[in-house]
Amino acid sequence: MFVGGCAGSTGGALKVVRIILLMKYGAREIYRSIHPRMVRTDKAWRNRYSEDVMQAILSFSILYILVFLGSSLILSMLGLDLMTSISASATTLGNVGPGLSTLIGPMANFGSLPVAGKLVLILNMWIGRLEVMTVLVLFVPSFWKK
């Protein structure tokens, strides 16, 4: 549920290109800790990616995981079991369909969840579809007041 579509697709979750670049970034940082004076540019599909692009992907991924963890925590505090809260958060944030438990699985729906839980999941779907950074821009007045 965390791996979305390819770049440009309408699928939610983390896009495959971001996951590949995150793995390349992680490997580079591990290599850099072993060889601190290393100078190397990141390449994927014959394209070079700057440090700014890598930092943007890293910050997006961290924010995505924080939204997932926060919504899972809120759902579990509302009385849902751990599997249901984690699965519901992942499926709505990634906009991928049914969850993995008996309450929200393929043979059930989200109707049995409390109203506050449904609101959290609606927010998850909105954030997942528009992506985290876009939603954050909506709430930063200095961006849209100019």
Average pLDDT of every residue of the chain: 84
pLDDT of residue 44: 66
The letter for the amino acid at 127 is: I
Of the two residues 1 and 103, the one the predictor is more confident about is: 103
Question: Which token pair is 124?
Answer: 């998850």
Contact 28, 109 (CB under 8 A): no
pLDDT at 54: 84
pLDDT of residue 146: 66
DSSP SS3 for 22 = helix
- Residue 74's pLDDT is what? 96
Among residues 131, 106, 103, the alpha carbon closest in space to that of 118 is found at 103
- How far is it, in rounded angstroms, from Cα 78 to Cα 93? 18
Calculate what percentage of the chain has a pLDDT beyond 90.
Answer: 24
Q: What is the mean pLDDT of residues 100-126?
A: 87
Alpha-carbon Rg for the chain, nearest whole angstrom, is 18
pLDDT in tens, 80-97: 989 989 999 998 888 887
pTM: 0.82
Tens digits of per-residue pLDDT, 41-68?
A: 666 666 777 778 888 888 888 999 999 9
Mean local confidence (pLDDT), 62-77: 94
| Cα distance between residue 27 and residue 90, in whole Å | 26
